[in-house]
Amino acid sequence: MTFEFEIINKFFKKKTSVPLGIGDDAALINKNSKEYWAISQDTLNLNTHFLPNTPAKDLGWKSLAVNISDIYAMGAEPKYALLSIAINNKSSNWVSDFSKGLLACAKKYGVEIIGGDTTRGQTSISISILGSIFKKNILKRSGAKLGDDIWVTGELGTAALGFAYLKKKVRLKKSLAKSSTQKLQKPKPPNIRTKELYKYFNSAIDISDGLVPDLTHLIESSNLGAEVFSKYLPVNAYIKKNKIYDLALYGGDDYELVLTACKKNRNVISNLAKNGKIKISRIGKITLNKKLLVYDLNESPIKKLKKGFTHFS
């Protein structure tokens, strides 16, 4: 367990009166007899979550997108958000661009900004978000069933590649440099709701810290294990060619979803993917052995898995 989660568990995790409290991508509050409110909050801090030269418009987009991702990870529909922003010596152009990005994201995903707080301080953006969900459709981290297929949306490791490029750790062709920094700076969480897809799945988590740490949260919540095969991971041609699968396993900031579904739904999910309804790949299965086993490209189990992104490390 990382220090971050030790802090949460030791000091903040108390018994609550709500249907679901600390420990999932969002908490749940009863809305009426059939629906919940899913509520969540995510913060982006300068230098921890974004580089100083991040375009303000992208930052505005990302601040909301990372919150929408947590709401989607519950199978819920994002509705309302509150924006708390600390600004230090920023020009009004910067704020204008930030708001344009934020509002473009809000429009695309059908979210209304209904409040917030504006202060002076080291640049930091914190958004609280509310989403709505029918109780029967909820996707909890704890919902995985033994034998479930593990699915992942989109492409993994691309945001980490973009980060490596911005930190001058890799040199990339112009088009790949652009697409990978876009994936890092302007993530687009996959909307499994509109595709009527959520009904096929048992559990979900979004990938903010990396596939390995986030899938570990899911199996720990479900009291089960998992096996994942590197050869099935959806990665771009550059990662595949250079065999840098660590980017896909441990790279944060992808904001894709890991979901699990009964084997009987495999064909219908594969067909939706084939018909271009959603980009989704099957990467492994849920097991009884309560740990995460990742097979490398030679199909040997990786002996010691690394950590993904962790605060305080």
Residue ranges that bind Mg ion, judged by CB under 5 A: 25, 70, 206
- How far apart are alpha carbons 55 and 296 in whole angstroms? 36
24 part of the interface to ligand ADP, by CB under 6 A: yes
22 part of the interface to ligand ADP, by CB under 6 A: yes
| Residues 28/75, Cβ–Cβ less than 8 Å | no
CB of 40 to ligand ADP, least distance (A): 6
Residue nearest to ligand ADP (CB): 12
Measure the CA–CA gap between 112 and 248, rounded to whole angstroms. 33
Which residues in 103-162 contact ligand ADP (CB under 6 A)? none
Site for ligand ADP in 32-91 (CB under 6 A): 42, 70
Give exposure, 142-159, as e/b (b: 16+ Cβ within 10 Å). bbbeeebbbbbbbbbbbb
DSSP state of 208: S
Partner in contact with 58, chosen from Mg ion, ligand ADP, none, beta carbon below 5 to 8 Å by kind? none
Min CB(207)–Mg ion separation in Å: 8
The one of Mg ion, ligand ADP, none whose footprint includes residue 155, by CB under 5 to 8 A per kind, is none
Q: How far apart are CA 228 and CA 245, in angstroms?
A: 12
Query: For residue 284, which of 271, 266, 272 has the smallest C-alpha distance?
Result: 266
CB of 30 to ligand ADP, least distance (A): 18
The answer to whether residue 208 forms part of the interface with ligand ADP (CB under 6 A) is: yes
**CA 196 to centroid of chain Cα atoms:** 19
Check residue 220 for interaction with ligand ADP (CB under 6 A): no
Among 2, 8, 104, 199, which residue sits at the site for ligand ADP (rule: CB under 6 A)? 8
Which residue type sits at 287?
T
